[in-house]
């Protein structure tokens, strides 16, 4: 199984993203992320044996309790840069709470042989991938017109363990387990 941990987006934010993507999609023939696949990745785990799934779930549950926190989605940008982009992204702003959650997940999973990231944690939503050179002038112009893009904010009170399976056009993400912050606080 190919696994990762992530934060789901609120319904309100998904609706706003749907409107944003409807404006942007006609501007370039690139690989747009399906709305159902948008999430904030906190840790890519990679391949993991299904018979050891319970070990991961137990380790992740031990990260709780913690306080809920707010996330704001704003601004659009390009990885690695605007001149030769491979990704169009929306910025994720959450202050230290999101970074702490990602670091705690990574630290908790390291004893299982899951490698820590070499790069600093850089939360974002991947809106589209650019696999091969295509005309992007209209998309660049549209992105510039809507900046600063304010997509919305929401309260994070849980994170999830997901499985990623290959699909015909894009990966299919299946939620395996939900780890709620507030329930753990109430249990203390």
Which domains can be identified in the chain, with CATH numbers?
2-187 (3.90.1140.10)
Closest CA to 101 of 66, 142, 59, 49: 66
pLDDT of residue 116: 92
Q: Residue range 10-28: average pLDDT?
A: 95
pLDDT of residue 34: 92
Q: Which of helix, strand or coil describes residue 81?
A: coil
The HSE-up count of residue 145 (CA atoms within 13 Å, CB side) is 10
Residue 112 pLDDT > 60, yes or no? yes
């Amino acid at each position: 199984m190919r696994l990762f941990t992530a934060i789901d987006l609120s319904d309100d934010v998904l609706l706003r993203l749907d409107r944003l993507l409807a404006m942007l999609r006609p501007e370039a023939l690139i690989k747009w992320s399906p709305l159902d696949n948008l999430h904030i990745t906190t840790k890519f785990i990679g391949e993991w044996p299904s018979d050891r799934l319970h070990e991961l779930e137990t380790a992740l549950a031990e990260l709780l309790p913690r306080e809920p926190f707010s996330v704001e989605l704003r601004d659009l940008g390009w990885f690695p840069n605007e001149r030769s982009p491979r990704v169009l992204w929306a910025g994720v702003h959450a202050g230290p709470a999101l970074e702490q959650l990602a670091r705690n997940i990574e630290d908790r999973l390291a004893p299982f042989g899951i490698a820590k990231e070499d790069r600093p944690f850089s939360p974002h939503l991947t809106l589209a991938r650019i696999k091969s050179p295509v005309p992007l002038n209209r998309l660049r112009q549209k992105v510039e017109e809507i900046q600063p893009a304010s997509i919305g904010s929401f309260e994070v009170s849980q994170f999830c363990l997901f499985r990623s399976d290959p699909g015909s056009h894009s990966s299919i993400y299946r939620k395996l387990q939900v780890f709620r912050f507030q329930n753990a606080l109430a249990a203390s």
